Structure 1
Amino acid sequence: MNINLHNKIGFLILILMVSACDISDNKDVNPATSFLKIYDSHQFDHAISAVDILQTEGEGFLLLGNYRRDDTNFLGTYIASIDDQGEFIRNTYMRDDNVHPVGQILTLGGSHYFVSMDAIGLQAYLNQVDDSARVVSTISLGVTYPLYAENDGSDQFILLSYNSTNKTTVLSTMSADGSVGGQSEFGIGAGQAVEEPIIDHFTRTGRSLPFFAGRASNGLYYLNGFYNYTLSLLFSDLSDNNPTGVVQGQQDEGGVSSLLSMDGGQFAISRFNFGDNYSNAMTTLSTSGTIAASDIESNPMLEWEVGAVVKMESIALGDSDYVIMATTTKNQQIVLHLFDSTTGEYVAVHYLGFSNPYQLGALEITVDNGLAVLGTTQVAGKFQRLCLFKVSEEELLDLL
């Protein structure tokens, strides 16, 4: 008992020190534009990981995370509310069968939602959450094993999921009441070995895989999921169960790790291949044929950690547009790479994190044209907590 108390006291002191020093080096810095915060838990042995972040209308933030539970093989659901200066307001640990939250946090009709899963029935849930991190309502969706969610306009969203009965990767468009607008299913191939990486992703007994979905500038939907035995990037108009285009990976050992659709049919892309990482901030992908991900011309990113989350956003700085590509380095810092979005030229790099190890979780362009970076950190080598970096527009301009 004394050991636990001492650990907790030491941890709280460290948190106060980090919070106190995050802007002390520059008294002119507005605490709402630039800060680093690390968030404690009332359960000191909770291991919390970052999933997504959303800035609310009051310019505070909703943080979505997960935490290890001892009563299920799946990760529990955690939501926190933060004010505009990064100060903690309140949080919610969901204790029922509502588990496995996935990004992104959605905004539909002015309200905020996130997708999760029932630990028993495995069906997807759509949860409405208010700005104080309270879950307002939960409805069941007609799919199982949710993998990713993304806004698709103001009144519907895109949901990527897995159907273990039919052995298919499913892409759906849905509204806030759970009604389906369009849906296609893509076969993953026969055999238990094909499904194993997907199930391991859910139970965290294997590698966390880069599942995502969205809509390209040409109107086609895209998804990164298993198809024909391989983790592949698919393009589809949702008219049938055949993709219009395929960027094929190497089983679960290679493929696309992130994608950003830009105007003119251009994409920013990152990919991985047997432990190596690559990036290209401006490339053309065929959305009507089949190519190998390994054939996409790209630059090796030698400092990126194997299997780390990669996130990308577009941002206007000064008179130019840029792509921000972020991930975790091998020495456990969060790295931001800036590229000119019209030429793909590498412009600048910036590192976040010191003293403790940090891993990237999610990015959000803020209303003041700064950057909110949600991550996970390990304090004193034993306490896994959420952290939030706020990088101001001025700091980003200084990098240029």
Structure 2
Amino acid sequence: MKIQLTNILFGMAALLAVSACDIGDNKDVNPADSFLRIYDSHQFDHAISPVDVTETSENGYLLLGNYRRDDTDFLGTYIASTDEEGQFIRNTYMRDNNVHPVGEFLVLGGQHYFVSMDAVSLQAYLNQVDDSARVVSTIGIGATYPMFAQNDGADQFVLLSYNPVNRTTVLSIHGLDGATIGTPREFGIGAGQDVEEPIIDHFTRTGRELPFFAGKTAGGTYYANGFYNYTLSLLFTDLSSDSPSGVIQGQQDEGGISGLLPLNGDNFALSRFNYGDQYASGLTTLSTTGTTSASDIDSHAMLEWETDGKVKMTTITLNESDYIIIATTTKNQQIVLHFYDNTGAYVGVDYLGFSSPYQLGAIQVTSDNGLAILGSIQVAGKFQRICLFKKSEKQLLELVE
């Protein structure tokens, strides 16, 4: 079975590589500029899902993923490394209690880290990983049920987590030693079993994967997308108290913000969902004070988007112009990239993947001003594997000009 799957993967990769470039221009093609790689597993029945991607110091890639284990209710941790052309180097399947890896990759003190969780104690871990996908160190963090992490400067990060004892969504700041900086802020989710159920289902993947995320605006206001007062809400806070300064309410776990990208001032790119309907805006102004509703945000219906699909966003500068990229998965299982200019006007679209079902995991602007897109593919309709697309700066320019 493994030989058969490997042949399928090799055949697909070869076909895609040939069809992706103009034969007449082959002498000018750098293999690192543009590619699609599909990564096999030594266990044919492993279903590997994408979490995040980042560049290594040698312009290769680190891939973070998860996979279903038969000895725990949580997803296991998978890490892989590639060279600059996306060619596989090695991977690590963590088999201890280190489970539930979350995005994003962190860069602390010039080294790569990611956050995960202990399967027994539920404590959050901070893991340092080298460019060969080997875990160098693992230290405990004073938090449980980690949901999301993002850099907050060069030597610290913001962590979104859940406290099941206090039944609170927690936002905290940590240094590269994992120690908590300042006072973690806790926002009550509300009483009752039904409120906590979708959170636990998210961690065990017995329910939907919910769009938990956190970060900081250019103006210094922190934000967190988590449960607050019985509903999935986008919270704004200066971390001075356990009461958010602003709340954008969703509809329990059936509506809310699914993706957010701070731009300037109170301007954001965002996506939202409401009972299965999907919406997006390349530029909108949000109130970061008071209480408002996500369903009132002016945005455009995205009829082709998959329900509950991951939405990822980034900015990129092409030919001295700034653009916003909003990426997700379509209903017919392609990865789609939507491009907006800095006024929020829609300027282009690109679809990745064909024949087999693809799903988006993460996107990352690369050091050569291209775009790395981590996703998953269902090979032969049954083997879920991670894949990596690379788009060159030239290809991206062609989409927006």
Give the C-alpha shift of residue 370 in structure 1: 0.4
Q: What is residue 177 of structure 1 aligned with on the other side? A: 177
- SS in structure 2 of the partner of residue 396 of structure 1: helix
Q: What is residue 311 of structure 2 aligned with on the other side? A: 310
Give the C-alpha shift of residue 30 in structure 1: 1.5
- SS in structure 2 of the partner of residue 263 of structure 1: coil
Give the C-alpha shift of residue 178 in structure 1: 1.5
CA contact (8 A) 2:358 2:377 kept: yes
More divergent stretch after superposition (271-280 vs 22-31): 22-31
Q: Does 1:8 align with 2:8?
A: no
CA displacement 1:213-263 (0-9 Å, x = unmatched): 000111000000000000000000111101010010000000000000012
Give the C-alpha shift of residue 8 in structure 1: 2.1
Q: What is residue 68 of structure 1 aligned with on the other side? A: 68
Give the C-alpha shift of residue 18 in structure 1: 2.5
CA displacement 1:243-300 (0-9 Å, x = unmatched): 0100100000000000000123210010000000001111111111110000000000
Q: What is residue 348 of structure 2 aligned with on the other side? A: 348
Residue type at the aligned position of 1:137: S
Q: What is residue 110 of structure 1 aligned with on the other side? A: 110
Residue type at the aligned position of 2:47: A
CA contact (8 A) 2:266 2:288 kept: no
Q: Does 1:242 align with 2:243?
A: yes
- SS in structure 2 of the partner of residue 131 of structure 1: coil
Between the aligned partners of 2:121 and 2:399, the Cα distance in structure 1 is: 49
Between the aligned partners of 1:185 and 1:264, the Cα distance in structure 2 is: 25
Give the C-alpha shift of residue 20 in structure 1: 2.3
Q: What is residue 4 of structure 1 aligned with on the other side? A: none
Between the aligned partners of 1:228 and 1:354, the Cα distance in structure 2 is: 42
Q: What is residue 336 of structure 2 aligned with on the other side? A: 335
Between the aligned partners of 1:310 and 1:283, the Cα distance in structure 2 is: 17
Between the aligned partners of 2:114 and 2:86, the Cα distance in structure 1 is: 21
Give the C-alpha shift of residue 388 in structure 1: 0.3
Q: Report the TM-score, using the length of structure 1 for normalisation.
A: 0.97
Between the aligned partners of 1:237 and 1:269, the Cα distance in structure 2 is: 21
Residue type at the aligned position of 2:45: D
User: Aligned-residue CA RMSD in angstroms?
Assistant: 0.8
CA contact (8 A) 2:2 2:42 kept: no
Give the C-alpha shift of residue 85 in structure 1: 0.1
Q: Report the TM-score, using the length of structure 2 for normalisation.
A: 0.97
More divergent stretch after superposition (74-83 vs 20-29): 20-29
Give the C-alpha shift of residue 22 in structure 1: 3.3
Q: Does 1:286 align with 2:287?
A: yes
- SS in structure 2 of the partner of residue 214 of structure 1: strand
CA displacement 1:157-204 (0-9 Å, x = unmatched): 000000000000000000011111132100000111100000000011
- SS in structure 2 of the partner of residue 303 of structure 1: coil
CA contact (8 A) 1:22 1:37 kept: no
CA contact (8 A) 1:148 1:211 kept: yes
CA contact (8 A) 1:18 1:37 kept: no
CA contact (8 A) 2:147 2:212 kept: yes
Residue type at the aligned position of 1:61: Y
Residue type at the aligned position of 1:386: I
Q: What is residue 21 of structure 1 aligned with on the other side? A: 15
Residue type at the aligned position of 1:241: D
Q: What is residue 360 of structure 2 aligned with on the other side? A: 360
CA contact (8 A) 1:310 1:327 kept: yes
CA contact (8 A) 1:23 1:31 kept: no
Between the aligned partners of 1:128 and 1:319, the Cα distance in structure 2 is: 35
Q: What is residue 275 of structure 2 aligned with on the other side? A: 274
CA displacement 1:83-127 (0-9 Å, x = unmatched): 100000000000001000000010000111100000000010001
Residue identity over aligned pairs, in percent, reads: 68
CA displacement 1:64-87 (0-9 Å, x = unmatched): 000000011100000000110000
Q: What is residue 134 of structure 1 aligned with on the other side? A: 134
CA displacement 1:293-314 (0-9 Å, x = unmatched): 0000000000000000000000
Q: What is residue 206 of structure 2 aligned with on the other side? A: 205
Q: What is residue 147 of structure 2 aligned with on the other side? A: 147
Q: Does 1:223 align with 2:224?
A: yes
Q: Which runs of 4+ in 1 moved over 4 A?
A: none
Residue type at the aligned position of 1:157: F
CA contact (8 A) 1:223 1:234 kept: yes
Between the aligned partners of 2:68 and 2:241, the Cα distance in structure 1 is: 38
Residue type at the aligned position of 1:213: A
Between the aligned partners of 2:371 and 2:16, the Cα distance in structure 1 is: 16
Between the aligned partners of 1:81 and 1:23, the Cα distance in structure 2 is: 20
Between the aligned partners of 1:278 and 1:58, the Cα distance in structure 2 is: 38
Gaps of 5+ in 2: none
- SS in structure 1 of the partner of residue 395 of structure 2: helix
Q: What is residue 163 of structure 2 aligned with on the other side? A: 163
Q: What is residue 384 of structure 1 aligned with on the other side? A: 384
Residue type at the aligned position of 1:203: T
Residue type at the aligned position of 1:367: S
Count of residues in correspondence between the two structures: 393
Q: What is residue 44 of structure 1 aligned with on the other side? A: 44
Between the aligned partners of 1:167 and 1:286, the Cα distance in structure 2 is: 27
Give the C-alpha shift of residue 354 in structure 1: 1.1
Residue type at the aligned position of 2:35: F
